[in-house]
Structure 1
Amino acid sequence: MADPQLPTDSQQAASNRSGQTRQLLGMRGAQAGETSIWKIRLQLMKPITWIPLIWGVVCGSASSGNFSWTVDNVLVALACMLLSGPLLAGYTQTLNDFYDREIDAINEPYRPIPSGAISVPQVVAQILILLGAGIALAYGLDQWAGNTFPTITATAVGGSLLSYIYSAPPLKLKKNGWLGNYALGASYIALPWWAGHALFGDLNLTIIGLTLFYSLAGLGIAVVNDFKSVEGDRQLGLQSLPVMFGVTAAAWICVLMIDVFQGGIAAYLIGVHQNAYAVLLILLIIPQITFQDMYFLRAPLENDVKYQASAQPFLVLGMLVTALALGNAGV
C-alpha cells in the first residue's frame, strides 16, 4: 500500500514539469539539471521579465496618439517589442546573472552560472551578441520612423548603460535600495515607453517626465523582488530596502510607492481633462490595495509572488489606460 505522505508518480511528474517550466522562464522554484545549451541561454535571459517591457512599448505606441492598425505599424511595433524584450531585457538579465554569481550561489544555486551549467566565456558572448543586436535594431527603427535625432537608439544605448551600472562594480546601483530599484522601475516603465512613443510620434519632455514619475510606482514593484533574497543581500552587504528598514517597514514603503504615484498620475489626468480615464485608473488601483492587504502586508516573505501575480495585472492595465489618455489629450 502506498504511503499517503509520499507523492504519486503523477504528482512527481507534475512537480518536475513545473520546475522545468520555472527554470526555463527564470522564475523562483526552478530545478537544476537542464543540459540543452539553448534552454540554458534562454533561462539566463529570464523570459518572464520580458512581458512588462513589451507592454511598455504598447503603452508608448498608444501615448503617441499616432498608432494605426496597419500591417507596417504592427510589424514595426513587434520589432520594437523584440528590441525591448528578448534583446535588451535579455541582455540586462544575462549581465545581471553574470555579476550576481556569488549572491545566486546563496539564494538561487540552481541558476545556470553558479550551477556550472554554462561557462563564463559563453555568458560573455551572449551578453555582447544581445547588446549588439539590440542597438542595431534600435538604429533600424529610428530609420523607419524618420527620426532626425536617433531617439530610439539613444534610449537603447542609455538603457544598456544603466543596466551595466546597475549590475556591475564599482557603481553597482543595486547595492542601494533606492537608486537600484528606481533604475529598475524606470527600465521597466519609462524606457520601453519612450521607444514605443518615439516610433510613432515625437518624444517630448512631458512624456519623459510623466513616465519617470510613473517609474516611482515601478520602484515599489521592484522592491517586491528584494524580499526573496533578504538573507543573501544581508550577507553580501547589499542595502536593499528590506535589509535597510526591516521586512515590515519595507513592505509598507513598497505599497505606498505603488499606490501614491499611481494616484498622482490619476490626478494629472484630471488636470488635463481626461476624467473618465482618471476614474478608470483609480478603479484599477483599488484591487491592488486589496491584494496588498490580503497578501503582501501580512506576510511579505511568503506572499511576494502571490501578490505580484494578483495585483500586477491591474497596474499594467492602469499603464495602458494612462497611455490612451495621454494620446487622446495630445500630450
Structure 2
Amino acid sequence: MKASAVLELLKPITWFPPMWAFVCGAITSGTSFQDHWLTIILGLLLTGPLVCASSQAVNDWFDRHVDAINEPNRPIPSGRIPGKWGIYLGIIWSLLSLSLGAFLGVWGFLATLLAILFSWAYSMPPIRLKQNGWWGNLACSMSYEGLAWITGAALLSVTLSPSKPSLLLALLFSLSAHGIMTLNDFKAIEGDKKMGIRSLPVQLGPKNAALVACLIMLIPQLVVIGYLLSLDMFTYAVVFLLLLIGQVLMMFYFYQKPIERALFYSGFGVPIFVSGMMVAAFGIRQFGVAQ
C-alpha cells in the first residue's frame, strides 16, 4: 500500500471547506490570532487533515461498491488500498481526531465527536444517511461548515463559547452548504440509481434537483444579508450582496445543464460562497468590537 494511495483516499482537496469555516468562526471570536497561533494551527489540523480526512476514508469504504461503478480507479475499488485497510484507516483517523479534539478542551472534543458521529452515520449501514439526499447532505453541511465554524469560535473566545451572532451564521451557512453538497451528486446519478442511493438528482431529476440546490444555497444567504443590516453592518452587507449576485449569475448558467456544469459551479461558484462567509465573519467581528 503506497503513501500516495492513502493520501488520495484522505482527499486533501476536501479539507479546505472545514478549515476555512474554522478560520471564519475564529474571526468572529474577536480575539487576536497572534496570541492563539498554536490553537489555530491545531484547529486547522483537526478540522481538515483529521476529521475531514477520516470522513473521506469512511465514506470511500462504505461506498466501494458504488465507486466500482462510478469511479473504479479510486484507491479502494482499484485495489491500491488492499483488503480492509480502507476501514482501518477510517477508524485510526477517527481516533486521532477525537484525541486532538479532547486536547483542545470540552468544545473541541464535543464538536469533534459530533462530526465523527455524523461522518459514520452518513456512510455506515444501517443508518447510512447518504441513502437520502436530504438527510445525508445536511449531515455533511453541518459537519463541514457549522461544527468547524463553532469550533473556531469557541476555541478562541474569551468566554469559551461562541457568541449568538456567530452561532446564527454557523447555522445559516450550514443550511446553505446543503445545496453545495448536492453538486457532488450529479456525477454519480447512474451508480446511485443502481445502488438505491436516493440523492436529490435521483429523487427529483437533474433539473429539479439543480433548482432546489440553488434555492437552498440562496435563501440562507439572503437572511445573512438581512442580519448584517440589522446589526448596522451596512458595508459588509453590500459586499456580501455583490458576491451573492455573482453566485446567482453562475446558478443560472449551472441550471441550464446541471450534470455537465456541476463541476464548473463547484470550481467557480463555491469560492465566491466561501468569500462571503469570510466577509460575514468580519462583519460579526466588527459588530463585537463596536459593542
Task: Please name the residue that 2:117 is paired with.
Answer: 161
| Structure-2 separation of matches of 1:307 and 1:207 | 27
Task: Please name the residue that 1:49 is paired with.
Answer: 14
Which of these residues, 249, 255, 272, is aligned with residue 290 of structure 1? 249
- Aligned partners of 1:173 and 1:180 also within 8 Å: yes
Deviations 1:13-41 (A, max 9, x none): xxxxxxxxxxxxxxxxxxxxxxx611111
| Structure-1 separation of matches of 2:23 and 2:155 | 11
Q: Count residues in correspondence.
A: 286
Bigger mean CA deviation after superposition, 268-277 or 208-217 = 208-217
Task: Please name the residue that 2:86 is paired with.
Answer: 123
Equivalent residue letter for 1:95: V
- Aligned partners of 1:219 and 1:257 also within 8 Å: yes
Q: CA deviation at 1:254?
A: 0.9
| Structure-2 separation of matches of 1:209 and 1:158 | 18
> 5+ residue gaps in structure 2?
none
Q: CA deviation at 1:241?
A: 0.7
| Structure-1 separation of matches of 2:197 and 2:96 | 32
Equivalent residue letter for 2:184: N
Equivalent residue letter for 1:192: A
Does residue 37 of structure 2 align to residue 74 of structure 1? yes
- Aligned partners of 2:27 and 2:281 also within 8 Å: yes
Deviations 1:150-169 (A, max 9, x none): 01100001110011101011
Task: Please name the residue that 1:104 is paired with.
Answer: 67
Which of these residues, 188, 197, 201, is aligned with residue 229 of structure 1? 188
| Structure-2 separation of matches of 1:161 and 1:120 | 24
Task: Please name the residue that 2:99 is paired with.
Answer: 136
The 3-state SS of whatever aligns with 2:184 is: helix
| Structure-2 separation of matches of 1:162 and 1:208 | 19
Does residue 156 of structure 2 align to residue 200 of structure 1? yes
Which of these residues, 178, 181, 184, is aligned with residue 137 of structure 2? 181
Equivalent residue letter for 1:284: L
Which of these residues, 276, 285, 308, is aligned with residue 266 of structure 2? 308
- Aligned partners of 1:47 and 1:90 also within 8 Å: yes
Q: How does 1:22-61 map onto structure 2 within 5 Å?
A: 37-61=2-26
Q: CA deviation at 1:303?
A: 1.3
Q: Which has the higher contact order (CA 8 A, sep 6+)?
A: 2
Which of these residues, 13, 21, 30, is aligned with residue 65 of structure 1? 30
Task: Please name the residue that 1:248 is paired with.
Answer: 207
C-alpha root-mean-square deviation of aligned residues, in Å? 1.4
| Structure-2 separation of matches of 1:95 and 1:283 | 38
Bigger mean CA deviation after superposition, 209-218 or 265-274 = 209-218
| Structure-1 separation of matches of 2:121 and 2:164 | 24
| Structure-1 separation of matches of 2:192 and 2:84 | 26
Deviations 1:136-185 (A, max 9, x none): 1112222xxxxxxx011000011100111010111111111111111111
Equivalent residue letter for 1:238: I
- Aligned partners of 1:56 and 1:190 also within 8 Å: yes
- Aligned partners of 1:155 and 1:195 also within 8 Å: yes
- Aligned partners of 1:182 and 1:216 also within 8 Å: yes
| Structure-2 separation of matches of 1:205 and 1:93 | 31
Q: CA deviation at 1:132?
A: 1.6
Segments ≥4 residues shifted beyond 4 Å: none
Q: CA deviation at 1:117?
A: 1.1
The 3-state SS of whatever aligns with 2:127 is: coil
- Aligned partners of 2:132 and 2:199 also within 8 Å: yes
TM-score (norm 1): 0.83
| Structure-2 separation of matches of 1:68 and 1:95 | 33
| Structure-2 separation of matches of 1:310 and 1:265 | 21
| Structure-1 separation of matches of 2:204 and 2:88 | 38
TM-score (norm 2): 0.94
Which of these residues, 258, 261, 277, is aligned with residue 220 of structure 2? 261
Deviations 1:75-94 (A, max 9, x none): 32011101000111110000
- Aligned partners of 1:61 and 1:67 also within 8 Å: no
Identity, in percent, stands at 37
Higher Rg of the two aligned structures = 1
Q: CA deviation at 1:292?
A: 1.6
The 3-state SS of whatever aligns with 1:189 is: helix
- Aligned partners of 2:97 and 2:112 also within 8 Å: yes
- Aligned partners of 1:139 and 1:153 also within 8 Å: yes
